Chain A
Amino acid sequence: EAQVTQNPRYLITVTGKKLTVTCSQNMNHEYMSWYRQDPGLGLRQIYYSMNVEVTDKGDVPEGYKVSRKEKRNFPLILESPSPNQTSLYFCASSLGRLSHEQYFGPGTRLTVT
């Protein structure tokens, strides 16, 4: 089944404790992206990647890092999480940078205390 998977689905952590949220897609998509979703604000793009080893900042990149060493994986790293990073995170992929339809993962609900 074609899909985007994320792990973990739920995470509660403390301020300053480094964490990684994994994202993997099995559709051989070139383009991948991370979003956060907060009430009343809609999905905001954190980072995106147009291909392996090519990543760039989205609209809200502060406090996050990403890497794209393999085509299928695009982990999101929070080196020192803070309470304002409490949010619902989605990974998405699409065929290429000029594609339109994006396929989303199931989401990761992160709480930072």
Chain B
Amino acid sequence: SQKIEQNSEALNIQEGKTATLTCNYTNYSPAYLQWYRQDPGRGPVFLLLIRENEKEKRKERLKVTFDTTLKQSLFHITASQPADSATYLCAPTMFSGGYNKLIFGAGTRLAVHP
């Protein structure tokens, strides 16, 4: 069955360092992969999308890589700030049943300490 793995343990880092979150998937081949941010008590918010033919995508302090051979995406936040503390969800996306279907990982909680 399709499976998505994100680090279940929280990632604790010091302010100013680079945070790296991992998303591994098995048993399917998504054409896209999205990352969302979720704050406590709120709905997920879209951050970035990367296509299968793109190796890397950047947006301000965020960088995402997508390795379809390894079936893995890495999400980096450079110069991290306490305000970056949140849970980050990866969502490989594939075309299924006539629409783009997202399958979400359970998320990794990031805590950035001053």
Query: Measuring CB to CB, which residues of chain A are less than 8 angstroms from any residue of chain B?
Result: 4, 31, 35, 40-45, 48, 50, 56, 90, 92, 97-107
Contact = CB atoms under 8 A, between A and B. Distances in A.
Contacts of A45: 101-102
B104 A106 contact: no
B41 interface: yes
Interface string B76-114: 000000000000010001000111111011110000000
Contacts of A40: 8, 106
B59 interface: no
A106 B48 CA distance: 20
B44 interface: yes
Contact of B41 (A41, A103, A107): A107
A43 B100 contact: no
Nearest to B32: A100
B51 to A, nearest CB: 10
B107 A42 contact: yes
Contacts of A99: 100
Nearest to B4: A42
Nearest to B41: A107
Contacts of B8: 40
B28 interface: no
Contact of A106 (B43, B98, B99, B101): B43
A42 B100 contact: no
A101 B34 contact: yes
Contacts of B49: 100-101
21 contacts: A4-B43, A31-B99, A40-B106, A42-B4, A42-B89, A43-B89, A45-B101, A48-B99, A97-B98, A97-B100, A99-B100, A100-B49, A100-B100, A101-B34, A102-B44, A102-B46, A104-B43, A104-B44, A104-B45, A106-B41, A106-B43
